[in-house]
Each structure stands twice: as structure tokens, then as C-alpha cells.
């Protein structure tokens, strides 16, 4: 289990992570989402002991990862741009991992090589971006980690490889109770893969929840009212539905609310709409809504 | 049993071992090529030296008077020279290149954000990660060197050369010293890896300190010499390499750096370092051991605290950046000051150069390491502190270097004082004609070693020391202060040298070396000088009193005027002629009428002369010079010279000295009879050279003098 408690990481005057706290359960696949520069990669680097904390603590199975080989031997990190020694091949990188990680499994390594279909002797710098990422994943997974930290891992992988990767990881989560923390912008990829998700924004955690609960607990609705709602009615709606976002265009009201579908529908029906429709949000929509609620102005960025 | 096996297993799997063996394997190709080059350079080079010289030394026994042992010794010396040539020209540069490449290849991971992600996420603590890599580097660098030296020893032994230059352990001594200084070099290089944030800044820092430090020492020495009258370098040579281990590697071979540079300049390896490997003082070994241990400890300490996020920054520790920048600022400041001051011979220009040099060096360094002016203003306080240090140092020199200029020991504290006095011709000091030594010393001949050297006379009696201190204090009146480095009016026509070394009773020494103008109106100074020259101890050093007629060897005349020069000599004097010359000369020298007009001028006259000379120089007319009449003598056997000089020789030299030679006396102008006699005795061998052939009566270069 990963316990993050009031963890702070600073780069000079910049506070990259500001007193964040949450827990990642053993055997879960935790999706870490957030805007650019939110601190996702910083958190992953802190989890694998690359960064020392500037405040608070991170504990993996009750121990701090920084300068702790015992913990670090259970954790493997695949960064967004994996590093390979100059002129190295997959085989030579595997030898490096084998030397450094006592838990290395050669059987698993050969199995993964065969699954991904990579030539072990090819120089890695001659490989495509996707193949380089596959090489990093093969080495990482062959160390038989208890904790797998992945940063933007789906970038550069073709759809077949994405599915293969998801299947391999899911199998290991099931078989070995491996815990996966995966940071990504590709929310659609995470949606059908993660069981938990955490949103980081400007160094703080906006929310951290089970994905199903998150998706069931937030809904968007569109309703048409004749005559249009008055301000008093809108305020009433806000009170009832814990609204994240609300827009009115003439007689039409669009809203995103942190409530289950039934509550949203019942509340709207009390105002007797001409038409109403309530839908669950995709993870991407949840992300955008929560970001907007946190003051992240998408229009400003897109303009 | 189980626990033993378990602990063995644990050791085998220790982080250090894992890192070490992986690094060794990772660098095997690089190490292989390095080994091939080093092994090729040293044993093969020495073998070629042996093959090339074997026939010469084998035949030598047929024509030389030297014993077989001496021939073997000479052959050994030649082999040793081959060894030194290979070492300085190939092996050491290769080893330094290897360590730079090795460090860049294996430690640069801490300078890349991506590589840091990989290495710092490994289940290995920082210390074994660092030490495992460091140890692999050392082994990769030193083992090929040891193999190379071992093979060289084998090559020598199998070719019948045992104990090169009388020391069977010479090669291993060289290896030991090289291993020590190369280890220091690697530690130094790795230390800068840890404290710098990227590879370029690492390279700049290493270069700045390794190359900059000796240059800064030289500039500092030159600055002190420019400011302080009488300054004798107080910087030991070891200080020049103290922070520059790459140069320290070369200092184990006599003239190592010089020959390395010469070989680069010539593009050949034909120059041969001479002498055996220095008898390296124990302080050298202690310093480099401490240097290595300290830097290694600091490297481990800093690496443990180095933040991974420092990768690709300028430096990982601001203190290191500040230290290197200050070093560069001081060097640039003093360096530009000296260049400008020397070119313009002006103190204002010098101090302007100091300020401009500091600003330029500081700015350039900061811009280069940060690739722009980012946060430049943050460095201004550090610049101000550095300028204050430079200013404080220069002010100290301006006011006499904390009493350096005015310091003369109490006569009672002095055990002995070695000296070379100004040579002042004139009535009051005719001793200068008599103490006919070379450059103030006494030339000795050691026939056994065919070796010459000079000795400096000294005083140890209290009264003599008193007189010397008095004279020294009179010399100081010439330098009232404050002291500035440039714009000094140098009257080269009237310059005299005075060197003095006091050995104090507490074992310390105080040494000064003055080049000072002497004028007739320096009455107190001349009087103090005459007092010293009249001391019985001083007189006892005068070789004139040991000379006899039968030692006269030859006579020489040299006359010069604006149109021609005339020279004549006679080295085939009869016994009668020698007696005649010596009798005439001693009679005139000892005559109460001896009166040699002093060639000292007053300060005012010197000024006029100087101006006149400048005018002459401008018109292309050079000033004339006086004629000279010289009597040269054969070497004086040691048993015929004064006990004081003998004591001086015995005290200084262990080798048996058999004679003092190189004596010649310049006959003063007032010894007219002697001059006339020399002229007569040399006339038949005289030749006149004309500068302009049109003026030569015989229209031929040399002509008989009339």
C-alpha cells in the first residue's frame, strides 16, 4: 500500500506538490490525471525514490522509498522518456536490470520479448518511439515489481500494443496483486483500465476516488424549461445538486452535478422541464469539469 | 554453516559489487583499447629503445675506458630515458584522456534528467552506486598501467638490464607515484561531476581549476614580485600543482611537463626527459593522499545530498560554482591588470585592468555556465566579495606586504647570512676587482664528476652579521613606499644586484633579492657597503689572495670604439712573463697610490645620461664602452685557497672538490703599467674588426692593430 501524507516537493521557489495526501491500495490500478505541470511526474519520481521529500512523507508498505533499496527493489518506474545507455540493445539493458534488481525474472523477460515481438539484439536508438517504450516496459515488468509506476505509457503505442499492455498489466495485477500507478493525459485509455483515479492540479489533489463511484457520482444534464428558470430557481438547483458547472441559454439549462443519476433526474423533474436528459460523464468530461471547478480556464487555454 | 553461506551470498549480491561488476562489463571495450594502447606504448617503446641501443653499448667496451659496470649503467640510463619518454609523451596523456572519457561516460548520468530517472530509481543506495562506479574506474585505469609497467620490467630483465639507473624498483616507484596522482586526478574529476549540473559545466570547471590554478599562482607570484622590492618567490613549486593533479602526474618525472609540451610542439617524441624520477618528498605523497581522501569524502557526501532535480542545472551546489567563479575572477583580474600594466607601464592602467578583468572574467564565466544572463544580478554580491578580496590583497602589497619589504631580522637572531654584494668599482671598493668570481659566486671544479657549481659566501660572526644588517637597512632607504607595481624609473646603466639570505636561529630563513640603482650620492649606503667589504671575513673569500704568478694562464685585451673593435690574447706566456705580469699587477694593486676613479654617477647625472642616451638611441648612435684588460688564471688547487673558502666548499658539497677555477681579473684603469704590459704581450696576436669595410685600410675584415 502506498500512503502519501502531506507530501511536499519544491523545485527552488516552485512548489510542485503541496501537502498532498491520499492512499493507493494494494493491487489497484491507480490513474493519475492532471493538467500539464500539475505534478504527476513529480509524484511518480517521488514514489520511486528519485526525489527526496521537502515535507510530509511517502510510505510504501510502511517504509520510505528514498535511499531505501528494500522498498526500491519492489518499485519500478517507466518514465515518459525512458533512458537507455548509449549503443545499448534490449539484451544489454536487460542485463543491467538483471544485475540491479534482485527480483529479475529471466523467464518473464523472454516471455515478454516473445509477446511484444522485439529483437533483443537491435540497438534501442534504432527502434521507433513505440518500440523503445515497449523495451522499457519489458525490462520493467521482468523485474517482477510489486509497484509499477508508469508515466504516459500509452504514448507512441499502437492500439494493438495498448491492449496487449493493458492485458499484461491486468494479468499481473490479478496474479501477483501488483499495484500500478499510471499517469496519463489519455483519459479514454485510463477509463477502461483504472479502478481508481486521482486528479492533481497545481500541486494539490483535487479528488481521489474509485473510478466507478466517480463516474456514478457525477452526471451531466440538459433540460428545457418553459418559461425559462428564474434566478431563484437556479440557486435552488445549485443547492440541491452540488453543481460543478451550470450554463443557461435561453430556456435551456446545461449542468454538471456531483450526484447520482436518480437524484439529478428527480430534482430536475420538480421544476417541470419540457424536456430533460441525464447522462453519466466520460472520465475526460469529469476531468474537464473538475478542472474548471478548480478554476482552470479551458477557454483561456484553447483561445 | 548456513549463516556463513548466507553472509557470503549477501556480500556477493551487495549493491557495491553489483554496480562495480556491471560498470566493469559496460566499459570493457573502452578499457580494452586503453589497455592495448598503454601496453603498446610502454613495454614496446622501451623494447625498441633497448634494441636500438644494444649494439652501440655492446661495442662500447671495445673503445671506451669505462668499466663494464659503467657501460651497463649508461645502457640502463638510456633505457630509463626511453621509459620516461614513453611515460610523459604517451602513457600519462593516454591515462588522463581515458579517465576524462571514463568519467564522462559513467558519471554523466547524474547530469541528465532521463538518466537520473533510471539510476536513482535503482534499488541501490547512492554511496555504493557512486563508490562501485568510482572503484571500477580506478581499477580500469590502474590495472592496465600496472600490467604495462610489469611487462616493461620483464622486457628489461629478459634483455639483461636489471635495476635501471641503479634502482630495481624504479619502474614500480614510477607506477606508485603515477597511481597516487592518477587516483587524485580521477577523484578531482569525479568531484566536479558531482558538484556540476551538466557535462559542459563539468568540463569547464575541471579545466578552469586544473589549468587555471597554476596560471593564477604564476600571476600572483608575478604580482607580488612587481609590487614588493626585494621579493623572492615564497610560493613553493608544489603549490602550482597543488590543485591541479593532472600536472602533479607530470611532476613525478623530471621536466615532465616541459617534455610533454615539447613533444606536442615538435610533433615528435624525440626529446628525452633527463634524470631519474625525482626523489619525491614525503609531503608530496601526504598531500595527494589527503587531497584524494578529502575530495572522495566530499564527493560521497555531496552525492548523497545531491538532488536528482539538479540534473541539467548549471551546478548542483552553489558553493562550488562560487568557488570556481571567484578563482576565475581573481585570475582574470590580476592577469589583465598585469598585461595592461606591463604594456603601458602605468599604474592607473594596471588598476583599470584589474577592474575590467574582474568584470569580464566574472561575466563570461557566469554567462557561459548559465548560457545567458539568467539570475546574473544574484551573483553581484559574490562579485563584490571577490573584488574586496582582490582589493584587500593589493592594498596589502601596496603597504609593503604586511612588513615584507621592511623586515630585517635582529642581528642577534641570525645564525648566518649568505649574500651577494653589489659590484661597485672605485677607490673605496677595489675588492670588486679582486673577488673575481662569477656572478657573485665561486666556481668549483669537481674533476670526478666533471661538474661545476657556484658557492655564495656567508657571515656567521655577530659583528659581520651586524654590518650586513646595517647595509641591508641602508638598501631599504631606497624603497620608502608605498609600493606600486609599474611606472618605476629603471636606470639600467646604474643597476646593481644585492641578494641576501638570513638563516635565523629558530631555523626560519628570510631571503631578499634586490636590483637597485646605486649613485655617488648614496653616501650612507656606499659607506655601509665599504664597511662590509673591509671585514676580514669578507676579505678571506677573495680569491686574489690565493693567486700566484705560476697560476697566470692567459692575458686578454679588448678595445672598442665607434668604428672598430680590437681584441688580442696570449695564452702561451713564459714563466718569466707570468712573473712579470703578476709582480706588476700586485705592486699596483697594493700601492698606496691605487686610485681608481669611481664610475658611479650622481642621481642627477644619471638622469642627464639617461636623457642623452635616449636622444642617442633616437639618432641611431649607440654609446661606447670602455676597454678591458684581463688576466685569467689556471684552477687553484683546493689546498692553496683560504680556509674560509675551503670550509664553504666542504660544508656545501659531499663530493670531493679538487680545485677552484674560472678565475679572471679585470685590470683596473689606474693599473696603467699592468695594462701597458698586457698590451705589449698580446700585441702580436691582436686583430681589429671594422664595422664598415670602406674604412678598413686593407679592405679586409681582420687587420693587425697598430
pLDDT of residue B272: 41
Interchain CB distance below 8 Å, A101 and B123: yes
Do residues B23 and B132 touch, judged by C-beta distance below 8 A?
yes
pLDDT of residue B28: 93
Q: Which three cell numbers stand for residue B274?
A: 633527463
Give the dihedral sign, CA A182/A13/A49/A77: positive
By CA distance, what is B18's nearest residue in A?
A: A99
Is there a domain that residue B443 lies in? yes
> Could you give the 3-state DSSP secondary structure of residue A78?
strand
Q: Which helix (H) or strand (E) holds B42?
A: helix B28-63
B570 and B470 fall within a common domain:
no
Interchain CB distance below 8 Å, B22 and A79: no
pLDDT of residue B109: 93
Considering only CB atoms, A85 lies closest to which of B21, B26, B125, namely: B26
> Could you give the 3-state DSSP secondary structure of residue B556?
strand
Chain B hits for A83, Cβ within 8 Å: 109, 112, 114-115, 117-118
As a whole number of angstroms, the distance between CA A183 and CA A106 comes to: 27
The per-residue pLDDT for range A240-289, each reduced to its tens digit, is 888 888 888 888 888 888 888 888 888 888 888 888 888 888 777 777 77
The per-residue pLDDT for range A141-151, each reduced to its tens digit, is 999 999 999 99
Residue B1, pLDDT above cutoff 90: no
Find cell 500541486 and name the residue.
Answer: A203
The residues facing B511 across adjacent strands are B501
Domains, chain A, in order of start with CATH, read: 1-74+146-209 (3.40.50.300), 83-142 (no CATH), 214-302 (3.30.70.980)
Closest Cα in chain A, distance from residue B123 (Å): 4
The per-residue pLDDT for range B630-654, each reduced to its tens digit, is 888 887 777 777 777 777 777 766 5
Find cell 436518480 and name the residue.
Answer: A262
Considering only residues B620 and B572, tell me which one the structure prediction assigns the higher pLDDT.
B572
> Could you give the 3-state DSSP secondary structure of residue B262?
helix
Interchain CB distance below 8 Å, A51 and B309: yes
Residue A19, pLDDT above cutoff 50: yes
Q: Helices B199-227 and B347-370 sit at what angle, rounded to 10 degrees?
A: 170
pLDDT band for position B10 (cuts 50, 70, 90): low
Is there a domain that residue B669 lies in? yes
Closest Cα in chain A, distance from residue B188 (Å): 24
Runs of H (alpha helix) within chain A = 40-47, 69-72, 90-100, 106-116, 129-142, 159-176, 187-191, 211-216, 231-241, 261-269, 283-293, 298-302
Closest Cα in chain A, distance from residue B35 (Å): 22
The per-residue pLDDT for range B234-243, each reduced to its tens digit, is 777 778 888 9
> Could you give the 3-state DSSP secondary structure of residue B410?
coil
The per-residue pLDDT for range B520-564, each reduced to its tens digit, is 777 788 888 878 877 888 877 777 777 888 888 889 998 887 778
B558 and B656 fall within a common domain:
yes
Q: In B333-394, at which residue ranges do the beta strands (DSSP E only) sit?
A: none
Is there a domain that residue B278 lies in? no
B534 and B670 fall within a common domain:
no
B579 and B654 fall within a common domain:
yes
Do residues A237 and A271 touch, judged by C-beta distance below 8 A?
yes
Closest Cα in chain A, distance from residue B185 (Å): 25
Q: What is the DSSP code (8-state) at residue A186?
A: -
pLDDT band for position B125 (cuts 50, 70, 90): very high
Bond preceding residue B482 cis, omega within 30 of 0? yes
Do residues A50 and B116 touch, judged by C-beta distance below 8 A?
yes
Q: What one-character-per-residue DSSP string does B69-94 give?
A: HHHHHHHHHHHHHHHHHHIIIIIHHH
Interface of A with B in 13-52 (CB under 8 A): 45, 48-52
B588 and B684 fall within a common domain:
yes
Buried b (16+ CB within 10 A) or exposed e, A73-97: bbbbbbbbebbbbeebbbebbbbbb
pLDDT band for position B259 (cuts 50, 70, 90): low
For chain A, the straight-line distance linking the first and the last C-alpha, in angstroms and rounded, comes to 42
B577 and B509 fall within a common domain:
no
Q: Helices B92-107 and B199-227 sit at what angle, rounded to 10 degrees?
A: 130
Question: Which of A46, A76, A96, A100 to probe the B interface (max B CBs under 10 A)?
Answer: A100
Considering only CB atoms, A48 lies closest to which of B13, B114, B121, namely: B121
As a whole number of angstroms, the distance between CA A81 and CA A177 comes to: 26
pLDDT of residue A182: 93
Mean pLDDT, range B664-692, rounded to an integer: 81
Question: Which of B22, B28, B102, B118 to probe the A interface (max A CBs under 10 A)?
Answer: B118
Q: What is the DSSP code (8-state) at residue B534?
A: T
Q: Which residues are within 8 A (CB) of B204 and not within 5 positions of it... i.e. 6 or more apart?
A: B368, B369
Rama region for B267: left / alpha / beta (φ>0; ψ in -120 to 50; rest)? left
Closest Cα in chain A, distance from residue B295 (Å): 22
Find cell 571500477 and name the residue.
Answer: B136
B505 and B633 fall within a common domain:
no
Q: Helices A129-142 and A159-176 sit at what angle, rounded to 10 degrees?
A: 10
As a whole number of angstroms, the distance between CA B294 and CA B287 comes to: 10
pLDDT band for position B438 (cuts 50, 70, 90): very low
Interchain CB distance below 8 Å, A79 and B114: yes
As a whole number of angstroms, the distance between CA A203 and CA B175 comes to: 56
Interchain CB distance below 8 Å, B124 and A70: no
Do residues B629 and B557 touch, judged by C-beta distance below 8 A?
yes
Interchain CB distance below 8 Å, A77 and B124: no
Please state which of the ranges A35-44, A203-212, B69-78, B390-399 shows the lowest mean pLDDT.
B69-78
Would an 8 Å CB–CB cutoff place A96 in contact with chain B?
yes
Q: Which three cell numbers stand for residue B159?
A: 634483455
Closest Cα partner for B178 from B199, B212, B205, B152? Answer: B152
Find cell 610523459 and name the residue.
Answer: B88
As a whole number of angstroms, the distance between CA A231 and CA A234 comes to: 5
Interchain CB distance below 8 Å, B121 and A72: yes
**Dihedral pair phi/psi, residue A58, rounded to 5°:** -120, 135
The per-residue pLDDT for range B194-250, each reduced to its tens digit, is 999 888 889 989 998 998 898 898 899 889 988 998 898 877 777 888 899 998 888
Q: Which three cell numbers stand for residue B269?
A: 617524441
B576 and B486 fall within a common domain:
no
Q: Which three cell numbers stand for residue A147?
A: 509497484
Question: Which of A99, A101, A147 to probe the B interface (max B CBs under 10 A)?
Answer: A99
Residue ending a domain, among B541, B569, B589, is: B541
The per-residue pLDDT for range B270-321, each reduced to its tens digit, is 334 444 455 667 888 899 999 999 999 999 999 999 999 888 887 778 888 8
As a whole number of angstroms, the distance between CA B593 and CA B617 comes to: 38
Is there a domain that residue B248 lies in? no
Burial class (CB in 10 A: 0-12, 13-18, 19+), B58: exposed
**Dihedral pair phi/psi, residue B505, rounded to 5°:** -65, -25
Interchain CB distance below 8 Å, B13 and A45: no
Residue A18, pLDDT above cutoff 50: yes
Interchain CB distance below 8 Å, A85 and B120: no
Do residues B549 and B525 touch, judged by C-beta distance below 8 A?
no
CB pairs under 8 A between A and B: 65
Interchain CB distance below 8 Å, A45 and B21: no
In 3-state terms chain A splits into helix, strand, coil percentages (rounded to 5) of 40, 30, 35
Closest Cα partner for B25 from A139, A105, A92? Answer: A92
Residue B439, pLDDT above cutoff 60: no
Chain B hits for A72, Cβ within 8 Å: 121-124
Burial class (CB in 10 A: 0-12, 13-18, 19+), B303: buried
Buried b (16+ CB within 10 A) or exposed e, B17-55: ebbbebbbebbeeebeebbebbbebbbebbbebbeebbe
B453 and B480 fall within a common domain:
yes
pLDDT of residue A147: 94
Considering only residues B574 and B426, tell me which one the structure prediction assigns the higher pLDDT.
B574
Give the dihedral sign, CA A142/A147/A153/A159: positive
Mean pLDDT of all residues belonging to chain B: 79
Gyration radius (Cα) of chain B, Å: 33
CA atoms within 13 Å, Cβ hemisphere of B61:
11
Q: How many CB atoms lie within 10 A of CB B267?
A: 7
Residue B655, pLDDT above cutoff 60: no
Do residues B447 and B658 touch, judged by C-beta distance below 8 A?
yes
Do residues A220 and A192 touch, judged by C-beta distance below 8 A?
no
Is there a domain that residue B159 lies in? no
Closest Cα in chain B, distance from residue A303 (Å): 30
Q: What is the DSSP code (8-state) at residue A281?
A: P
Please state which of the ranges A128-142, A182-196, B388-402 shows the lowest mean pLDDT.
A182-196
Interchain CB distance below 8 Å, A83 and B118: yes
Would an 8 Å CB–CB cutoff place B13 in contact with chain A?
yes
B442 and B534 fall within a common domain:
yes
pLDDT of residue B597: 62
Residue ending a domain, among B506, B541, B576, is: B541
Chain B hits for A39, Cβ within 8 Å: none
Number of domains making up chain B: 2
Interchain CB distance below 8 Å, A50 and B22: no
Q: Which three cell numbers stand for residue B586?
A: 700586485
Mean pLDDT of all residues belonging to chain A: 87
Residue B269, pLDDT above cutoff 70: no
Is there a domain that residue B524 lies in? yes
Considering only residues B430 and A89, tell me which one the structure prediction assigns the higher pLDDT.
A89
Beta-strand relationship, A29-34 and A179-183: parallel
As a whole number of angstroms, the distance between CA B77 and CA B167 comes to: 11
Chain B hits for A101, Cβ within 8 Å: 122-123
pLDDT band for position B436 (cuts 50, 70, 90): very low
Find cell 452526471 and name the residue.
Answer: A219
Is there a domain that residue B341 lies in? no
Q: What's the domain range around B460?
A: 413-541
pLDDT of residue B440: 39
pLDDT of residue A286: 77
As a whole number of angstroms, the distance between CA B503 and CA B483 comes to: 26
Chain A hits for B126, Cβ within 8 Å: 67
Q: Which residues are within 8 A (CB) of B440 and not within 5 positions of it... i.e. 6 or more apart?
A: B420, B421, B423, B454, B456, B497, B499
Interface of B with A in 76-115 (CB under 8 A): 109, 112, 114-115
Do residues B257 and B211 touch, judged by C-beta distance below 8 A?
no
Q: Which helix (H) or strand (E) holds A8?
A: strand A2-11
The angle formed by the CA atoms of residues B176, B182 and B185, to the nearest 5 degrees, is: 150
The per-residue pLDDT for range B371-380, each reduced to its tens digit, is 888 778 888 8
Q: Helices B15-26 and B28-63 sit at what angle, rounded to 10 degrees?
A: 70
Is there a domain that residue B611 lies in? no
Q: Which residues are within 8 A (CB) of B570 and not within 5 positions of it... i.e. 6 or more apart?
A: B554, B555, B681, B682, B684, B685
Q: Which three cell numbers stand for residue B366?
A: 557566469
Would an 8 Å CB–CB cutoff place B29 in contact with chain A?
no
B562 and B494 fall within a common domain:
no
pLDDT of residue B618: 45
**Sheet with A219-224, side-by-side order of all strands:** A243-249, A252-257, A219-224, A275-280
Q: What is the DSSP code (8-state) at residue B313?
A: S
Find cell 597554476 and name the residue.
Answer: B214
Burial class (CB in 10 A: 0-12, 13-18, 19+), B416: middle
pLDDT of residue B9: 63
B512 and B563 fall within a common domain:
no
Chain B hits for A75, Cβ within 8 Å: 121
Amino acid at each position: 500500500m502506498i500512503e502519501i501524507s502531506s507530501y511536499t516537493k519544491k523545485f527552488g521557489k516552485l512548489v510542485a506538490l503541496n501537502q498532498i495526501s491520499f492512499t493507493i491500495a494494494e493491487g489497484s490500478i491507480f490513474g493519475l490525471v492532471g493538467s500539464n505541470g500539475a505534478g504527476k511526474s513529480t509524484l511518480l519520481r517521488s514514489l520511486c525514490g528519485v526525489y527526496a521529500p521537502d515535507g510530509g512523507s511517502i510510505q510504501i508498505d510502511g517504509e520510505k522509498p528514498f535511499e531505501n533499496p528494500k522498498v526500491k527493489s519492489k518499485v519500478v518506474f517507466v518514465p515518459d522518456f525512458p533512458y537507455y545507455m548509449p549503443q545499448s540493445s534490449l539484451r544489454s539493458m536487460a542485463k543491467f536490470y538483471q544485475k540491479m534488481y534482485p527480483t529479475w525474472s529471466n523467464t518473464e523477460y523472454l516471455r515478454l520479448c516473445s509477446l511484444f515481438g522485439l529483437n533483443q539484439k537491435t540497438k534501442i536508438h534504432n527502434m521507433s518511439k513505440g518500440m523503445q517504450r515497449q523495451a522499457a516496459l519489458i525490462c520493467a515488468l521482468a523485474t517482477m515489481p510489486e509497484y509499477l509506476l508508469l508515466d504516459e505509457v500509452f504514448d507512441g503505442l499502437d492500439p494493438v500494443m495498448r491492449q496487449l499492455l493493458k492485458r499484461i498489466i491486468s494479468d499481473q495485477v490479478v496474479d501477483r496483486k501488483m499495484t500500478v500507478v499510471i499517469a496519463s493525459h489519455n483519459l479514454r485509455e485510463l477509463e477502461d483500465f483504472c479502478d481508481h483515479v486521482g486528479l492533481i492540479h497545481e500541486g494539490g489533489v483535487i479528488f481521489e476516488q474509485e473510478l466507478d463511484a466517480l463516474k456514478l457520482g457525477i452526471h451531466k444534464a440538459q433540460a428545457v424549461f418553459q418559461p425559462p428558470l428564474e434566478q431563484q430557481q437556479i440557486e435552488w438547483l445549485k443547492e440541491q445538486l452540488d453543481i460543478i458547472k451550470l450554463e443557461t441559454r435561453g430556456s435551456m439549462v446545461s449542468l454538471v452535478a456531483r450526484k447520482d443519476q436518480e437524484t439529478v433526474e428527480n430534482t430536475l423533474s420538480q421544476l417541470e422541464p419540457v424536456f430533460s436528459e441525464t447522462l453519466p460523464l466520460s472520465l475526460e468530461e469529469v476531468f474537464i469539469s473538475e478542472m474548471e471547478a478548480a478554476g482552470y480556464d479551458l477557454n483561456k487555454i484553447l483561445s | 554453516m548456513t549463516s556463513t553461506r548466507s553472509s557470503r551470498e549477501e556480500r556477493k549480491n551487495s549493491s557495491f559489487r553489483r554496480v562495480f561488476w556491471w560498470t566493469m562489463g559496460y566499459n570493457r571495450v573502452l578499457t580494452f583499447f586503453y589497455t592495448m594502447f598503454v601496453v603498446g606504448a610502454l613495454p614496446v617503446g622501451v623494447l625498441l629503445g633497448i634494441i636500438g641501443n644494444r649494439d652501440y653499448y655492446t661495442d662500447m667496451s671495445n673503445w671506451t675506458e669505462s668499466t663494464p659496470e659503467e657501460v651497463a649503467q649508461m645502457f640502463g640510463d638510456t633505457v630509463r630515458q626511453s621509459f620516461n619518454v614513453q611515460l610523459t609523451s604517451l602513457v600519462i596523456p593516454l591515462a588522463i584522456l581515458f579517465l576524462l572519457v571514463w568519467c564522462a561516460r559513467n558519471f554523466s548520468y547524474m547530469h541528465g534528467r532521463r538518466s537520473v530517472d533510471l539510476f536513482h530509481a535503482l534499488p541501490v543506495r547512492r554511496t555504493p552506486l557512486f563508490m562501485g562506479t568510482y572503484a571500477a574506474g580506478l581499477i580500469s585505469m590502474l590495472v592496465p598501467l600496472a600490467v604495462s609497467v610489469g611487462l616493461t620490467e620483464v622486457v628489461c630483465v629478459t634483455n639483461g638490464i636489471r635495476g635501471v639507473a641503479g634502482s630495481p624498483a624504479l619502474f614500480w616507484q614510477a607506477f606508485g607515484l603515477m597511481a597516487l596522482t592518477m587516483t587524485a586526478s580521477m577523484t578531482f574529476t569525479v568531484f566536479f561531476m558531482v558538484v556540476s549540473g551538466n557535462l559542459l559545466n563539468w568540463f569547464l570547471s575541471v579545466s578552469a581549476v586544473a589549468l587555471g590554478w597554476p596560471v593564477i599562482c604564476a600571476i600572483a607570484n608575478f604580482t607580488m614580485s612587481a609590487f614588493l622590492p626585494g621579493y623572492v618567490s615564497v610560493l613553493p613549486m608544489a603549490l602550482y600543482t597543488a590543485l591541479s593533479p593532472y600536472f602533479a602526474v607530470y611532476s613525478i618525472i623530471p621536466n615532465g611537463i616541459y617534455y610533454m609540451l615539447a613533444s606536442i610542439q615538435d610533433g615528435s617524441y624525440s626529446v628525452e626527459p633527463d634524470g631519474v624520477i625525482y626523489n619525491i618528498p614525503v609531503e608530496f605523497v601526504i598531500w595527494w593522499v589527503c587531497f584524494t581522501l578529502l575530495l572522495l569524502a566530499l564527493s560521497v557526501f555531496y552525492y548523497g545530498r545531491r538532488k536528482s532535480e539538479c540534473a541539467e542545472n548549471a551546478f548542483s551546489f552553489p558553493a562550488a560554482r562560487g568557488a570556481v567563479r571567484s578563482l576565475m575572477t581573481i585570475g582574470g583580474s590580476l592577469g589583465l591588470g598585469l598585461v595592461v600594466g606591463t604594456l603601458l607601464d602605468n599604474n592607473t592602467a594596471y588598476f583599470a585592468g584589474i577592474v575590467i578583468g574582474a568584470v569580464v572574467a566574472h561575466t563570461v564565466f557566469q554567462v557561459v555556465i548559465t548560457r545567458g544572463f539568467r539570475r546574473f544580478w544574484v551573483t553581484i554580491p559574490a562579485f563584490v566579495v571577490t573584488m574586496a578580496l582582490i582589493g584587500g590583497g593589493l592594498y596589502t602589497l601596496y603597504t609593503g606586504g604586511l612588513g615584507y619589504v621592511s623586515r630585517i631580522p635582529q642581528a642577534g637572531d641570525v645564525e648566518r647570512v649568505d649574500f651577494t654584494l653589489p659590484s661597485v668599482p672605485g677607490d673605496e671598493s677595489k675588492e670588486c676587482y679582486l673577488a673575481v668570481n662569477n656572478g657573485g659566486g665561486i666556481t668549483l671544479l669537481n674533476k670526478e664528476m666533471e661538474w661545476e657549481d657556484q658557492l655564495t659566501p656567508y657571515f656567521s660572526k655577530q659583528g659581520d652579521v651586524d654590518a650586513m644588517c646595517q647595509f641591508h637597512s641602508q638598501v631599504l632607504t631606497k624603497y620608502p613606499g608605498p609600493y606600486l607595481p609599474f611606472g618605476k624609473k629603471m636606470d639600467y646603466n646604474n643597476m646593481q644586484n644585492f641578494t641576501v639570505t638570513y638563516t635565523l636561529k629558530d631555523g626560519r630563513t628570510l631571503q631578499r633579492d634586490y636590483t637597485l640603482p646605486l649613485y655617488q650620492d648614496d653616501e650612507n649606503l656606499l659607506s655601509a657597503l665599504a664597511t662590509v667589504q673591509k671585514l676580514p671575513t669578507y676579505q678571506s673569500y677573495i680569491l686574489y689572495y690565493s693567486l700566484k704568478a705560476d697560476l697566470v694562464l692567459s692575458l686578454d685585451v679588448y678595445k672598442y670604439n665607434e668604428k672598430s673593435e680590437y681584441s688580442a690574447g696570449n695564452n702561451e706566456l713564459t714563466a718569466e712573463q707570468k712573473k712579470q705580469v703578476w709582480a706588476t699587477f700586485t705592486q699596483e694593486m697594493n700601492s698606496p697610490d691605487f686610485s681608481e676613479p669611481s664610475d658611479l654617477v650622481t642621481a642627477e647625472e644619471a638622469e642627464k645620461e639617461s636623457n642623452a642616451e635616449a636622444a642617442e638611441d633616437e639618432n641611431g648612435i649607440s654609446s661606447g664602452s670602455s676597454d678591458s684588460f684581463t688576466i685569467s688564471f689556471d684552477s687553484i688547487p683546493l689546498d692553496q685557497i683560504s680556509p674560509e673558502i675551503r670550509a664553504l666548499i666542504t660544508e656545501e658539497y659531499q663530493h670531493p672538490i679538487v680545485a677552484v677555477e674560472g678565475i679572471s681579473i679585470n685590470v683596473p684603469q689606474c693599473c696603467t703599467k699592468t695594462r701597458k704590459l698586457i698590451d705589449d704581450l698580446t700585441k702580436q696576436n691582436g686583430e681589429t674588426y671594422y664595422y664598415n669595410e670602406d674604412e678598413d685600410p686593407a679592405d679586409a675584415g681582420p687587420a693587425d692593430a697598430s
